[in-house]
Amino acid sequence: MQENIVQAGIASPGRPLFEQMAARLGVPSLYDYQMEAVTEVLRGNDCFVVVPTGGGKSFCYLIPALVSPGLVLVVSPLIALMRDQQRQLQELSIPSLSFDSMMSGEEKREAREQILAQRLKVLYVSPERLALPGFRDLLKDLPLALVAIDEAHVVSQWGMGFRTEYRRLGAYLDELGPAPRMALTATVTADERREIIKILHMREPKQILRAAPRDNLELIVHRHDKVDLQKQHVVTSLKEAVGQAIVYAATRKSAEEMFHRLRQAKISVGLYHGGMRGDERMRAQESFCDQKMQVMVATKAFGMGINLPSIRHVYHANMPCSVESYTQEIGRAGRDGALALCHLHYGPRDYYIQKFMIEKSYPGEMDLLKVHGILQDLYQQRSGYRETELLQKLVVQTDLDRDIIRSAMDFLYREQAFCLTDLPADSSIFGDWESFVTAGDHAHTLDSLLQALRKQVAWKFDKLNAMHKLVKQASCPRRYIEGYFR
């Protein structure tokens, strides 16, 4: 292991090097866990880092980027997060790039030249980008110092759902050579760590575990018997709050109602949820980050990558869907190390709202059987259908609601029983594109699909029930969370 470091021109890391790197990154010193993680990967070992949100995880892969001659590849879940981190590196004069779908054709050509010329120290990509064989070919002959998988909890949580490329990350990375791999997150259970290690093909990683809400976060649970009192308590509390605040609501409808209540109370407030247009969400986030508003009301779609020292409060107007979501969301407060308050308001309808949302996101077993049976008949006649045409046929032949059919198809896409592909609708380069559905490459028995459905639904309910136990029974939320992640 030491031999690899010497060959790369890196001395065995010691405190003088760490002090030098801390100064380079603009911080007074490094945490012990950061030095431990860096030491492991510089020795060529894999590493799994679990520390509280806002604990400086990114330094664990930035220091290897500064002291190693090769490229650090960072796999990240969100374009906004990648671009924000890239901007921070630019301010530190660290050559970096976010290779993402928002780039123009010319920007991608320039990025390719920078990558091949080895002018970058850090390259941010999504798992979907790594899924492209041509992009992996671009990286194969480059010296990689480290592959970092940021927000690694999504490998398990999203890989089982709508981001299936996360489940194949290990195979993609195997093609890029033997560079050490580092997984970083704030929220992952012991069972999920084992699953992520397996998915990423990690080699006996050193596990550095510091997961718990930061000490400066005060966790307070409010239990309410009436829904209206639950909502009003949030508004009343925010009238007296000093500093910026995020209010999380369980649904878009709840978020909009809370937004209007706060605006009526003359509180400077913004709104953010997945049903809004992209430009509306961006403007709301920018206004909040620029401290032009005091409060942001949002669903869980908001917050990943938000790193503002001005957030003094996080309110949950409803019970979150999981301990993981709750821990991630409260971690957006108190990033400056000063006291921050985290109020969780639990009411009589909260569990059933989350239960309904789980059930809505998956098809019932009988509905899946019906949709799958019709699909089997249709695909004996043709090899592919336009998605709009296929959905219409399923509506007619199954007599099911379109939303139910959509959830069944989304599940079948995730399981790769069927594939959704965008193809040009005509021969023109600038023509419209249409979505086509073809049968998957791998055969799936009906029994295997039903087992996968049961497993995914049960996993979601396990997460929900753990959160419900926290709000109903835990006398000390912090101790409960520490035990949950241990």
| Band of residue 213 on the pLDDT scale cut at 50, 70, 90 | confident
Q: CA of 250: how far to CAs of 117, 325, 394, 471, in Å?
A: 47, 11, 31, 15
Which is nearest to 41 in space by CA: 233, 183, 221, 247?
183
Topology annotation, domain 2-209: Rossmann fold (3.40.50)
CA distance 5 to 333: 38
Check: pTM over 0.75? Answer yes or no: yes
pLDDT digits (tens, 9 = 90+) for 441-464: 766 788 999 999 999 899 999 999
CA distance 160 to 230: 33
CB-side exposure of 8: number of CA atoms within 13 Å? Answer: 26
CA distance 148 to 57: 11
CA distance 282 to 74: 24
Q: Which two tokens stand for residue 24?
A: 């380079």
CA distance 347 to 234: 12
CA distance 151 to 68: 23
**Cα-only R_g, the chain:** 24
Predicted confidence (pLDDT) at residue 470 exceeds the cutoff of 90: yes
Neighbours of 321 (CB within 10 A): 20
What pLDDT sits at residue 480?
94
Q: What is the DSSP letter of 165?
A: G
pLDDT digits (tens, 9 = 90+) for 301-358: 888 767 788 899 999 999 999 999 999 899 999 988 899 999 999 999 999 999 999 9
Which is nearest to 200 in space by CA: 152, 162, 151?
152
What pLDDT sits at residue 430?
39
Which is nearest to 315 in space by CA: 252, 223, 271, 249?
249
What pLDDT sits at residue 21?
84
pLDDT digits (tens, 9 = 90+) for 352-395: 999 999 999 899 999 999 999 999 999 999 888 988 999 999 99
Predicted confidence (pLDDT) at residue 29 exceeds the cutoff of 50: yes
CA distance 373 to 379: 10
What pLDDT sits at residue 1?
29
Question: What's domain 217-355's superfamily in CATH?
Answer: P-loop containing nucleotide triphosphate hydrolases (3.40.50.300)
What pLDDT sits at residue 102?
79
Q: Which two tokens stand for residue 110?
A: 């320039």
Domain ranges of the chain: 2-209, 217-355, 362-444
What single-letter amino acid sits at 356?
F
Neighbours of 462 (CB within 10 A): 12
What pLDDT sits at residue 242?
92
Per-residue pLDDT, averaged over 170-174, amounts to 93
SS (H, E, C) 415-434: CCCEEEEEEECCCCCCCCEE
Neighbours of 181 (CB within 10 A): 27
| Band of residue 9 on the pLDDT scale cut at 50, 70, 90 | very low
Which is nearest to 146 in space by CA: 181, 183, 197, 94?
181
| Band of residue 77 on the pLDDT scale cut at 50, 70, 90 | confident
Predicted confidence (pLDDT) at residue 99 exceeds the cutoff of 70: yes
Give yes or no for a contact between 130 and 172, defined as CB atoms under 8 angstroms apart. Answer: yes
What pLDDT sits at residue 423?
59
pLDDT digits (tens, 9 = 90+) for 121-171: 999 998 888 888 888 999 988 999 999 999 898 888 665 555 778 888 999
What pLDDT sits at residue 422?
63
Q: What is the DSSP letter of 11?
A: P
Which is nearest to 446 in space by CA: 454, 436, 437, 456?
454
pLDDT digits (tens, 9 = 90+) for 406-455: 999 989 988 888 887 765 554 443 345 567 888 887 667 889 999 999 99
- 2-209 and 217-355 have identical folds: yes
Measured in degrees and rounded to the nearest 5, phi and psi for residue 57 equal -60, -35
365 bridge partner residues: none
Within 117-247, where are the H helices? 127-130, 133-140, 153-157, 169-174, 190-199, 227-239
Q: Which two tokens stand for residue 325?
A: 């979501």
Per-residue pLDDT, averaged over 34-42, amounts to 93
For residues 318, 319, 324 and 327, what is the CA-based torsion angle, rounded to 10 degrees?
60
Q: What is the DSSP letter of 436?
A: E
CA distance 80 to 62: 19
Q: How far apart are the first and last CA of the chain?
A: 30
Predicted confidence (pLDDT) at residue 54 exceeds the cutoff of 60: yes
Within 31-181, where are the H helices? 32-42, 59-67, 79-91, 105-116, 127-130, 133-140, 153-157, 169-174
b/e sequence 104-137, b meaning 16+ C-beta within 10 Å: eeeeeeebeeebeeeebbbbbbbbebbbeeebee
What pLDDT sits at residue 30?
86
Measured in degrees and rounded to the nearest 5, phi and psi for residue 342 equal -125, 105
Q: Domain 362-444: state its class.
A: mainly alpha
